[in-house]
Structures are given as C-alpha cells and as structure tokens.
Chains A and B, each alone.
Chain A
Amino acid sequence: MAEMSMYRHGANARKQSLLITSLFIFSVLLIAVLIASLASVRLTPETVNQANQIVVDWRLFVYVALAVAGVIVLTSLWKMVSMGGDGAKVARSLGATDVSDETGDPLITRYKNIVEEVALGASMQAPRIFVLENEPGINAFAAGSSPDKAAIAVTRGALKLLNRGELAAVVAHEFAHIRNLDMRLNVRVIGLIHGLMVLYVVGRILMHSGGRSRKGGAQIALIGIAIILLGLLGAFMGKIMQAAISRQREYLADADSARYTGDPDSLAGALKKIGGLQHSGMKEAVHDELEEARHMMFAELSVKMSGLMSTHPPLVKRIQALDPSFDPDQNGWPSMENAEVAKEA
C-alpha cells in the first residue's frame, strides 16, 4: 500500500515537471512574438480616409522574433556550457574533495560502499564521489548534466551523524536527481533567467538610442521599455518557477530514493536529524560558495527560507510524505514550519 502511493507520487511529480517545462517554452515564444509585433506593426495614416491603418512588416516580424528567441536560447546555451556538464568540476568549485581513490578512513569506505550499493539498486553507474570536509551540518548535492559525468558530494557531518541506512537514503536521493536529469533542467532554468536578464540590457540600449534618433525614435524607445519590462517580469517569474520546479523535483527525488533503497523510514530518519540539528541552533553552512548552490543541496541551507522563493519543500512536509504519522510538536520542533503547514492545510 505504502509502496503504491510512493509510485503515484512519483508519476504525479513527473507530470508537473513536464507542465512547468512546457510553460517555459511557451513563455519564450510569447515574449518573442510580443516584441516582434511591437517592432513590425506600424500605424500609417491613410491619406484618403484620414484614418489609421495597421501595416505589418512580416519580414521584420520574423527577423525580430528569431533574434529575441535566439538571444535567449544562445545565452541559455552559453550558461549551460559554463555551468558545466562535468559534475566533478562543479563539485571542486564548491569546495568538495575527491575521495574516489582515498582509502583508510572507515567513514569514507562506508560511504563508497553505500554509493556502490545504491548504484546497483538503481541500475546506474556509480558517479564520482566527493566530501565537503568543513561542513559540520548534514547535507549533500549532485552535479553534472548527464549520468556519465555526474558527481555527488556529502558533508563530513552527514558521514558522522547519519547511520548506514540514512546515508544510503541521502545518497539515493542524489542518485534520483542524476537519473531524473534535474541538474540539466536546473541549468536550463538558470540559463533562461540569464537570457531574460540579457533582454533587460538590450532594452536599455534601445531606449537610449531611440531617445536620440528622430525618425521612428518613439517606437524604438517604446520597444526598449517593453523589452525591459518583459525581461524583468520574466526573470522574476523565472526565479519563482525555478523554486517551484526545484521543490517538485525534491519530492520526486525523495520518492525515488525510497524506491531505490526500499527503505523510506531511513530517509525520513535523515530528514528528522537535519530538522533536529537546525532547530537546536547549529550553524548549518560555513561556506559562502554553497549559498549559490542552495538549489542543489539535499536540504535547505537555512531554516528561514520558506515560501515562494524556497527551493525546497518544508522539512516537515517532506517527512510527512514518507511518514504520515510524524508530528513535529511531539519532537519539540519550534513553531515556524508548523505554522506554515497549518496555514496551507
């Protein structure tokens, strides 16, 4: 029974992710068409009737639409390349140490064994493995745009504080991100946001040049303002959507983790330990560079992040998806997240 609902949950999340992705494609098309229309539609006063007539320059329309879509797509591609398909590179840039060849530390040996076990359970090849040595809190991330270039990293705190099953659950969660190509999607979303920010820059240039030229200057300035507004609005919506996608992907990865290990209790256990640490006031993140990668982490870096811009669902909700009987009050968790849950329930 529990397993069935686990599968349903996974399928549901998959569908929603697809919906959000198509929404993105739609918004790029919409922006391209809107700007192209502004550029190519002209009101020409007709001499005979003294009325305005709408004239569309279709060639200009196509050029502008292609240019706008091209700018967004190219910026997105450039960002995808620079954010790296190579997971190992990303992991190193975030301060993680490669422990693939390290022997002697029993905690690392256990971690390595667990990665091999989960790889077998998920029928995937094992990624490069890393440790964030200076992190006392419990967290983990996966990087790399495809399974053969993937890397996963866990914090030293996770190695120390989690038991075998819990660490396996966290590792399986990261495997799910790799299998579901979540990093690729994330890079795509970030790329799109950057593409829209580029529109903002282009819009400012147009606005200034439009103000100076006499012929059709007003229309160019108008287009510039429209581009700026659409760019800003798009980028803001993009950030909200990125957070929404990320939250959905976290639920999906939790469900897949339970499927790979056959052990949802351990995943719930790991999440409870994270919650316990956060509420006992332990400093979670030491490295600033992790802050920019917070959407990639196993758990939110700070308790205070919640709501529309949060990249992770509230811990309590993630635990309750795995263990419906979980009651945060009984575990002495302070009210902030509980209030959140109560409000939405």
Chain B
Amino acid sequence: MEWVLLGILGVLILYVILEYNKLVRLRNVFQNAFKQIDVTLKQRHDMIPQLVNTVKGYAKHEQATLTGVIDARNQAEKLRGQSDSGDAGSMLALGQAEGLLGKAMGGIFALSEAYPDLKADGAFRDLMEQLTTIENKVAASRRGYNNTVLEYNNVLETFPTNILANMFTFKRASELDFDDREAIQNAPEVEF
C-alpha cells in the first residue's frame, strides 16, 4: 500500500517538474520574441526624424502634422524603453502609443499626395521604401510575438496546469495590438 502511494507521489512530482519547465520555456520564448519587436520598433523610431526633415523642406505649412509625429514618436520611444514584455498595462500603453504614431505617420503619407515634388524626390522615395520595410518587419515580429504569447497562455490557463501556474505565480501574458492597420496600409506605393 505504501509503495502505491509513494509511486503516485513520485509521478505527481515528476509531472509538476515537467509542467514547470514547460512554462518557463514558453515564457522565455515569448520574452525573446518581444526583444525582436523591440529591435524593429527602435528602427521605426529612429527613422522618424529623418522622415520629418525630408518632408519639412517641401511642406513648410504642415508644421502641426510634423510636430504631431515627433511628439507621438517621443512618447512611443519613452514607453518602449520602459516596456515589460507580456505585462498587460505595459503592452496596452505601448500598443496605444505605437498606434498613435502609426496614425500620425499615415498623416504624413496622406500629405505627400498633395506635394507632387515631394513624392518625386528620390530621397523621399528611398525613405518610403525604408519605412515600408520597417512597418512590415514590425508587423511580422508582432505577429510572431502574439503567436508565442497565445501558446504560453494556452498552456497556462488549461487545467490542471493553471493550478501550478497559480502556485508559482506565472502571470498571463498580453498580446501587443496596434490600432493602426489602415494607416499603414495607406502608405503610398512608390513607382520606380
């Protein structure tokens, strides 16, 4: 009888160890995926001053739009520096800031339609290509991060692992969502 109980206890302990390690591994995976987003967001933020400078030469009367972009960029960069991967509040704030930045950038893209000289400028065209590729990289890395978060949460919240997760204070991770899909898709397609 004792042997049976000991056996069950042993299996139970083994199960706890395996599940714990699985949770740690999945947490590392999504935190690593967030680092990739961080890299692409930094690239995005570093591009903004260059974009504003190029546009400034052609569109002097659009100061409001341009300062709007700079402000949004500074806010997003500040939040990026403080962001804590997976934390709900942090992800929400960062997502909103990046969403606002995306919308502000959409304003610049729309504005370029009104300045044919600007659209024809070689430097602006190169810039647009760089911006487009960074936007796509942000989107791709965000998709990758959200997938890893989903995988982690699925394991975390299903019975009986959820009991374990509570015991060892594993927290639910949050996805990162931007509210700017249409702004990015409206980026002008440049002709070569």
User: Which A residues have a C-beta under 8 Å from some C-beta of B?
Assistant: 106-107, 109-110, 113-114, 116-118, 120-121, 123, 163-164, 168, 262
Contacts and interface: CB of A to CB of B under 8 A. Distances in A.
Nearest to A105: B192
A120 B142 CA distance: 10
Given A106-B192, A163-B189, A117 B143 contact: no
19 contacts: A106-B129, A106-B192, A109-B129, A110-B129, A110-B192, A113-B133, A113-B136, A114-B133, A116-B137, A117-B133, A117-B140, A120-B36, A120-B144, A121-B140, A121-B144, A123-B144, A163-B189, A168-B136, A262-B143
A323 B192 CA distance: 29
A263 to B, nearest CB: 10
B46 to A, nearest CB: 16
Q: Is the interface of A mostly helix, strand, loop or mixed?
A: helix
Given A106-B192, A107-B192, A164-B132, A120 B125 contact: no
Nearest to B132: A164
B85 interface: no
B129 A113 contact: yes
B141 interface: yes
A113 B129 CA distance: 8
Interface in B137-190: 137, 140-141, 143-144, 189
Contacts of B133: 110, 113-114, 116-117
A116 B189 CA distance: 19
Contacts of A168: 136
Interface residues of B, number: 16
B126 interface: yes
Contacts, number: 38
Contacts of B143: 121, 262
Contacts of A163: 189
Interface in B13-71: 36, 40
Contacts of B125: 106
A332 B30 CA distance: 48
Interface string B113-136: 000000000000110011011001
A106 B126 contact: yes
A331 to B, nearest CB: 22
B192 to A, nearest CB: 5
Contacts of B129: 106, 109-110, 113
Given A110-B129, A113-B133, A120 B140 contact: yes
B132 to A, nearest CB: 7
Given A113-B130, A262-B143, 7 more contacts: A109-B129, A117-B137, A117-B140, A118-B140, A120-B140, A121-B140, A121-B144
Contacts of B130: 113
A33 B189 CA distance: 62
A120 B137 contact: yes
A169 to B, nearest CB: 12
A123 B36 CA distance: 11
Nearest to B187: A164
A209 B9 CA distance: 74
Nearest to B135: A117
Interface string B66-83: 000000000000000000
A107 B129 CA distance: 10
A120 B189 contact: no
Contacts of A110: 129, 133, 192
A123 B130 CA distance: 20
Contacts of B36: 120
B7 to A, nearest CB: 39
Contacts of A116: 133, 137
Task: Rank and list the top 5 A-B pairs by shortest CB-CB distance, nearest first.
Answer: A113-B133, A121-B140, A120-B140, A117-B136, A106-B192
Contacts of A164: 132, 189
Nearest to B141: A120
A267 to B, nearest CB: 15
B105 to A, nearest CB: 17
A107 B189 CA distance: 13
Nearest to A262: B143
